[in-house]
Structure 1
């Protein structure tokens, strides 16, 4: 019975170049059933397993390591969801099944599955919640979709019956025509002969523009369209011509296919030199293709001729834009995929492209390569994981203002019952944040410490926030956290207790804003502030509100305008975003007061040490939200400052008082002014880079655009004069008068 079903599913998949899915559900041991499926469908020789238990001697990946499937395809992928239903692993597994292949999903009984708790649920049961507090809404939704979607067979292992056969009886498929190379092309013909669709030919041809110095090429596609292969064919062609090609991606494994195609081109042309390792391909004429992590790639190590960014949607827009105008750059990204928020990339990054001076070429690939366009498994995965969720279209929300919107806080059950609302809310999160992924869908539906908050306009979502309850831990847990330095799922109490050494920080109950997003068509209308105000009103019993994010001046300004004050700036950059994380708190409580005070007391020291390379405008914006204290200088220290401002004194001889004065000025509500009393960004940057971060004069001049180090010194003297006039005591005035 099961063998016959497997044969029929595989035959139909092969005949149509589509994929089929077989769900083996039940408490019975699936080993016999799985072996029968693999043998009958002739799948055993090219099948892999994702799960925690060994089955049928298949090569196995733990769910957290399912990223190893990136850039690979198989006739069969078996996903064992009994011990852990991790949405990211499911998405990666679906994408690794080739046309004509079979996805096998092993689950508990579908009716009972939502009530079971597994290892992924354990990650959602953050203290003080326990495992029993986790809901099963994501699995309830997934089980329902397995039972109704085309191309999915469901087998009850306990009764050994076929609930549905998953056969679609499709019409015959016409053979795919061979692609046609362009009549004129600069890349070698072998690059085009390798292409499998006309879409791929067009993408490789578009990447030829990267031979020009001001070029940028953006290639977008859904999964399985061959965009990474097209980028690899182009990278290999450029390296064969002697170009130094730098490749970056959020995960090195995501660039596997790009490197494979680049290697194939160089090898076919006979110019591949030896083996430069997994991260470097070398060509005879000095060209090469090499990899660097995003945070390193933005520095353009060794001055590459061309940069390729694979799965660009998985990286922050600011990092992507940093390449523009500096080097020819090609971006390849998935539109609907767990690798990143492709729609957010399309909207937000396109604005940067339009505003810049780069000569931009855009190409979109729609024809699937791994399987036919009629494949039923892809739309099931899109729907199950909300990979294709979108916010409402512009006409539905364009008139939204703070006065027209309604604040709602739907429960997970409300969202599960309203697919339209769920898709709009999650689609807006995906659009706005490059880190939103399928795991977040399960967290939104099942995590007991997370709540969802919306602003709607005529029933459509225009703003969304995810809020986590943190803290409220008992005395014993607080003591353990203080000793060990870690507590699951309580980011800000963990930070304040473990790193900032506050033994009482995990006792008060706070609310951390994990994500907040406003529809791009109605941004800059105070809707984000309106949503935050509603959150503050709803949780008026919270001891504190907080947030943490990759710090940029714009984000810092938004949060500070809504009453949030800095308490921490991380010493290390995020390896993917290249940004330093900031933590901010809001509220009227002893915890907020002491941590904002502690930050003000230590920030001068860390800026001269671990934070000396933080972006100067991030430092300025952080300090602008920090409590202001007038400069506390002795008479002698004021004489030192005034002597450096008006006479022969030198800042370098005694920097302490200058640092305290700079901090006072940069934390003042009106900042630092020029000689006419107007705000001066340039002078603030100079105080940060030289006085607070202690960079040498040559570096300061180069970073801030002064022609010479002497010019930067003179400008610091003029800046100090304005600070002496503003804050100086009689001792400072007397010293100034010595110099006429």
Structure 2
């Protein structure tokens, strides 16, 4: 079965393939070994492991999934044997590069509903006990995985491989919407004051990349001081990556890029709110993860702001951004 998996993987040549889900179901050690030897050991791609894998591989606990938002990986291995959270799976799917895979490791689908999941205690309502190991959620999830023709599934018994390719006449990715976003960001910096822009899309659609591209364009064509803030510095990794990619000769000092007489600098939220620092443009990445009162304070302090976000994965503050901040 593993030879069939490897053959299928060789057919998944970018850019003519989708992001897809691969489910490896079976015994814990067997599933982990397949994932490690196929995706981690070759070291041909960037991989994030969700769970407590013993080897030297980039890994995080499922509860810390928000620390990876804004980054990109070729493959994300979600080890459900160490606990599964639907919110984490949904959010982390947006960190996968075009043509990449999310690999879900889990028990046999028919048996998953009886598995003693470490996250089980977090799904038990007040007044109930966690000793009932039957999970209606995993029963439903297993049925949905089986019914989805786009999901690849590997077990000891068989390998089910969906078609990896999109229409063959599509030979290059389209960046039309991203170009529109870049133009809109630049217009905030060069147009009238107090006309903020809210840039919202699903994860993995290039929002942070658009911020970086627009920042580089502004630094090259105008003299601007651009500030960037976000819940975490790591969230802005893609933003700075694309800015540096497009700037031929930049200088970097700590969290600041300088190009000619212009600059692009990350400033932490608390420091930005406490200081009197001003800027020609403020870029806020993952805005839905920031409390509404802080966003309102920033909007009063800076006259040119771009709020960039997805609301997915931020159940509390994300709803506040959608229903409270936008209206204000």
TM (normalized to structure 1)? 0.39
1:347 deviates by 5.0
2:142 corresponds to: 143
1:25 deviates by 0.9
Mapped contact 1:232–1:260 kept (Cα < 8 A): yes
1:253-332 to structure 2, matched below 5 A, reads: 253-265=234-246, 267-268=247-248, 270=249, 272-273=250-251, 275-277=252-254, 279-285=255-261, 287-293=263-269, 295-299=270-274, 301-324=276-299, 326-327=301-302, 328-332=304-308
Distance 1:127-1:245 versus aligned 2 partners, 3 A rule: same
> How far, CA to CA, are the matches of 2:216 and 2:265 in structure 1?
7
2:189 corresponds to: 210
Query: Aligned to 1:167, what secondary structure does the other structure show?
Result: coil
Mapped contact 2:40–2:57 kept (Cα < 8 A): no
Mapped contact 1:254–1:311 kept (Cα < 8 A): yes
1:693 corresponds to: none
> How far, CA to CA, are the matches of 1:286 and 1:176 in structure 2?
33
1:103-502 to structure 2, matched below 5 A, reads: 103-124=102-123, 130-132=129-131, 136-156=135-155, 160-162=156-158, 164-167=160-163, 171-176=167-172, 197-208=175-186, 209-211=188-190, 212-239=192-219, 241-265=222-246, 267-268=247-248, 270=249, 272-273=250-251, 275-277=252-254, 279-285=255-261, 287-293=263-269, 295-299=270-274, 301-324=276-299, 326-327=301-302, 328-334=304-310, 337-339=312-314, 345-346=321-322, 348-352=324-328
Mapped contact 2:18–2:166 kept (Cα < 8 A): no
Distance 1:134-1:344 versus aligned 2 partners, 3 A rule: farther
Distance 1:217-1:308 versus aligned 2 partners, 3 A rule: same
CA-atom RMSD in angstroms: 3.3
Higher RCO (Cα < 8 Å, 6 or more apart) = 2
Count of paired positions: 322
2:29 corresponds to: 29
1:64 deviates by 3.0
Mapped contact 1:66–1:93 kept (Cα < 8 A): yes
> How far, CA to CA, are the matches of 1:206 and 1:18 in structure 2?
28
1:299 deviates by 4.5
Query: Aligned to 1:303, what secondary structure does the other structure show?
Result: coil
> How far, CA to CA, are the matches of 1:213 and 1:133 in structure 2?
59
2:70 corresponds to: 71
Q: Which has the larger radius of gyration?
A: 1
Mapped contact 1:15–1:173 kept (Cα < 8 A): no
| Residue 52 (1) aligns with residue 52 (2) | yes
Distance 1:78-1:286 versus aligned 2 partners, 3 A rule: closer
1:618-633 to structure 2, matched below 5 A, reads: none
> How far, CA to CA, are the matches of 1:169 and 1:207 in structure 2?
33
1:82 deviates by 0.7
Distance 1:214-1:69 versus aligned 2 partners, 3 A rule: closer
1:20 deviates by 2.6
1:18 deviates by 0.8
1:234 deviates by 2.5
1:101 deviates by 2.4
Mapped contact 2:17–2:165 kept (Cα < 8 A): no
Query: Aligned to 1:94, what secondary structure does the other structure show?
Result: helix
Note the residue ranges of structure 2 that are not aligned, 5 or more in a row: none
Query: Aligned to 1:324, what secondary structure does the other structure show?
Result: helix
Mapped contact 1:239–1:289 kept (Cα < 8 A): no
1:107 deviates by 0.4
Query: Aligned to 2:196, what secondary structure does the other structure show?
Result: strand
Distance 1:85-1:261 versus aligned 2 partners, 3 A rule: same
1:563-613 alpha-carbon deviations (Å, 9 max, x no partner): xxxxxxxxxxxxxxxxxxxxxxxxxxxxxxxxxxxxxxxxxxxxxxxxxxx
